[in-house]
Amino acid sequence: MLNLGILISGRGSNMENILKSIKNKKIPINPAVVISNRTEARGLKIAEKLGIKTEIIESKGFEGSRVDYDKKIISSLKKYGVTPENGLVCLAGFMRIISPQFVKKFKNRIINIHPALLPSFTGLNAQKQALEYGAKYSGCTVHFVDAGMDTGPIIIQAVVKIKENDTEESLSKRILKEEHKIYPEAVNLIARNRVKVSGRRIIIS
Ligand code: GRF
């Protein structure tokens, strides 16, 4: 069974959903650790309540380089058995760019959820970007993390129709509902070894 490490920065609703699916025996994976780069992340309390080990590696005021910071994350993950061989890392609202060294070490072992239909609207405030662009549909994407920004191979997407009277808030809420479905689903497929990467394409068996 793989060991799962979840990296968060804030609210942690995707993390909570994944952890609850694991508790309900829907996903065969060991929830090894939740790591936050922010001491005040609300998700930490949720993880603790669910009985999951937590670690804080504060990034604010961290004086080393990005690579130095990521080394700390990697060694913390290792402490809980989350290695490239036996682990999976989920970025769940983790508001930091991962160094290419981290990505390389954990090739096809780090996944992320993005609140838009990639490759559209990468980066921050994706829901606002979709609204302002006038898109009729947006959604969310679970993808492997590569060295680019939201550019890795796509595992699962869900589509959300944009309404004429949508605000950033109302659209984000509907997208989040879909995020909570597809992120646990993606973790489950990987946990069951049903995801194969072939170039940019993902084959689900
Ligand atoms: C989600 O919208 C996710 O798509 C984005 O950051 C947000 C995190 O929310 N990457 P939460 O912390 O999981 O509630």
pLDDT tens, position by position, 63-79: 999 999 999 999 999 99
* Mean of all residue pLDDT scores within the chain: 98
137-144 and 110-114 strand pairing: antiparallel
Name which CATH class applies to 1-107.
Answer: alpha beta
154, 141 contact by CB (below 8 A): yes
**Whether CATH 3.40.50.170 fits 112-205:** yes
Residue owning the nearest CA to atom 12 of ligand 1:
12
CA 184 – ligand 1 centroid, Å: 13
**Minimal-distance CA residue to ligand 1 atom 14:** 13
Q: Are 54 and 34 within 8 A, CB to CB?
A: yes
Give the max Cα distance, the chain: 49
Strands 195-198 and 201-204: antiparallel
Q: Which residues pair with 3 in a beta bridge?
A: 30, 87
pLDDT band with cut points at 50, 70 and 90 for residue 150: very high
Tokens matching residue 139: 């959604």
Minimum CA distance residue for ligand 1 atom 7: 93
**Residue 71: what pLDDT?**
98
> Partners of 4 in the beta sheet?
31, 88
Residues contacting 66, CB < 8 A, separation 6+: 97, 99
pLDDT score for 8: 98
Query: What's the pLDDT tens digit per position in 108-120?
Result: 999 999 999 999 9
Supply φ then ψ for residue 111, to 5 degrees. -125, 160
Q: What is the pLDDT of residue 190?
A: 98
The average pLDDT across 80-90 equals: 98
For residue 8, the ligand 1 atom closest to its alpha carbon is: 12
Alpha carbon 53 to chain centroid, angstroms: 18
Task: Check: CB of residue 143 under 8 Å from CB of residue 132.
Answer: no
pLDDT of residue 113: 98
Give catalytic residues, as residue numbers. 114
Q: Tokens representing 38?
A: 């922010």
Helical spans, DSSP H, in the chain:
13-23, 42-49, 66-79, 100-105, 126-133, 168-191
Ligand 1 binding pocket mutation candidate from 179, 180, 183, 187 (most atoms within 8 A of CB): 179
Q: Where are the domains of the chain?
A: 1-107, 112-205
Cβ < 6 Å from ligand 1: which residues? 10-15, 43, 92-93, 113-115, 176, 179
Domains 1-107 and 112-205 share a fold: yes
Query: Which numbered atom of ligand 1 lies nearest the CA of 13?
Result: 14
Separation of 93 CA from ligand 1 center, angstroms? 4
Q: Which residues make Cβ contacts (< 8 Å) with residue 172, sequence separation at least 6?
A: 115, 127
Alpha-carbon span 108 to 144, nearest angstrom: 6
pLDDT digits (tens, 9 = 90+) for 156-191: 999 999 999 999 999 999 999 999 999 999 999 999
- CA–CA separation, 187 vs 143, rounded Å? 11
Look up the pTM and report it.
0.97
